[in-house]
Amino acid sequence: MTDKEKIINLFNKNLKGIDICLKSYNNKHSGKEGHFIEKKMEIKHNSKNEPDLYGYEMKKYSNKRNIINNFNNWNDDIKLNRNEFIKIFGNPNPNKNNRYSWSGYCVPKYNIYNSNGQIIKIENNDLIIYYSYSYDKRDNKENIPDFLKKDNIMIVIWKAEKLEKYINNKFNVKGFFTLKKIDNKYEKICFGKPFNFEFFIENFKNKKIIFDSGMYEGNSRNYSHFRGMNLLDDLIIEEY
């Protein structure tokens, strides 16, 4: 039996056509369905840089699939703790008692400055977020520390070497599989081709992969992801 056949058998035996029941999971946990699927597919939850099952990475079916989860590298040279970073580079949410978050429109995109003066650039395949005071359109920007009142300050960097190792170890072994849900049941399993770091960089440049952050004040989790916008659908080659 091939490794792919083992995965298909696990899906057919443990998950296919079964009502998704999350009663035993924390209702406030956004990843509870993912944990339910992992348990059914006999995947042990871990943070290892390797494929989930028999050389294949499992991705929950969505039009915005996470490719990399909780993967931030702050630039320690700017000497800010996490909450200071969020307050300076993020925005308050009036619906949450003005709790600050680095999420939504204040999170930078590739090669274009946002209204918070931030941009993502690619330099020698490193992904770098820069802050520039002159591009910051916020009314209260004069309140930020004086040492940040300049342009082209590196605030986050993902080194190419680290990204390449992560992506190639996760996705460039045998590929990935994803599960399709109909109503409240998973009915199909799909397998996609492997992809490498060069594929990731190319699709970040054409904005099929984006950086997405949901970090907020008072919570220690990074909630920072690279998401593929319908990207993995184009790599699917088999469905069962």
pLDDT category of residue 220 using cuts at 50, 70 and 90:
confident
Residue-wise pLDDT tens digits, 93-143: 999 999 999 999 999 999 999 999 999 999 999 999 999 999 999 999 999
Q: Which residue has the tokens 């993967």?
A: 71
Taking phi over 0 as left and psi of -120 to 50 as alpha, with beta for the rest, 238 belongs to beta
Spell out the domains of the chain, with CATH numbers in brackets: 3-70+162-239 (3.40.210), 76-158 (no CATH)
Q: What is the pTM assigned to this prediction?
A: 0.87
Cα 222 to chain centroid, rounded: 10
The burial of 161, by beta-carbon neighbours within 10 Å (0-12 exposed, 13-18 middle, 19 or more buried), is given as exposed
Residue-wise pLDDT tens digits, 19-56: 877 765 555 555 677 778 888 899 887 677 889 999 99
For residue 90, which amino acid is it?
A: G
